[in-house]
Amino acid sequence: MPDLLRGLLVTVEATALGSLLAFALGLVWALAFRAPTRWVRWPVRAVVEFVRNTPLLVQLFFLFYVLPSAGLTFSPLATGVFGLGLHYSTYTAEVYRAGIDGVPPGQWEAATALSLPRRRVWIAVILPQAIRRVVPALGNYVIAMFKDTPMLAAITVLDMLKQAEEAGAESFRYTEPITVVGLLFVLIAYPTSLLMRALERRLGT
């Protein structure tokens, strides 16, 4: 049980850090989609589509086993966090894009009429409204990422699943540890999903 609790902490840490990275990168991609020059838009769109259309597990293997041959070596957890964040950033980018597109045209027109600098328009007017609209959707991706963390066991991250596997290997009894892991996922993911629904209703989105 102590090993499973340590694995739970690793799982939560990977999810939290991966989510922050996904939110930050996703916003960068979404803003790049609206860049005035196609020489920025097209490469970013190509990278986003490539990452989105390749399996997360393949990306984790590439980061963990291929990058070291190029001299880039990171810890298993750091690799897992980066893999999760990069993968899910391609989805949060579309969420941000939808949020930005959903800002009423009048807001853009009012900002233009006030002659606000472009940076201030984004920071003070557009992004606060857009992000407010997409918070529930971003929360859903956090839950999805949490449920994908067992893939990190494939690159030796000692998450809940990996700890359960090792506990089962020691006693040759896999039913109990794997069942506990499943229950822990349900006990965390389901209340979080309810919280996201409540937040969605509160925000009126």
Res. 81: pLDDT tops 60: yes
CA dist., res. 10 & res. 65, Å (int): 21
Find, among 44, 46, 66, the residue nearest to 54 by Cα. Answer: 46
Mean pLDDT of 101-126: 80
pLDDT for 65: 93
CA dist., res. 85 & res. 68, Å (int): 19
Between 5 and 180, whose confidence is greater? 180
Mean pLDDT of 127-143: 88
Q: What is the mean pLDDT of the chain?
A: 87
Res. 17: pLDDT tops 90: yes
Cα–Cα distance list, 178 to 6, 160, 165, 166 (Å): 15, 9, 7, 10
Res. 102: pLDDT tops 80: yes
pLDDT for 203: 67
pTM for the structure as a whole: 0.88
pLDDT for 104: 83
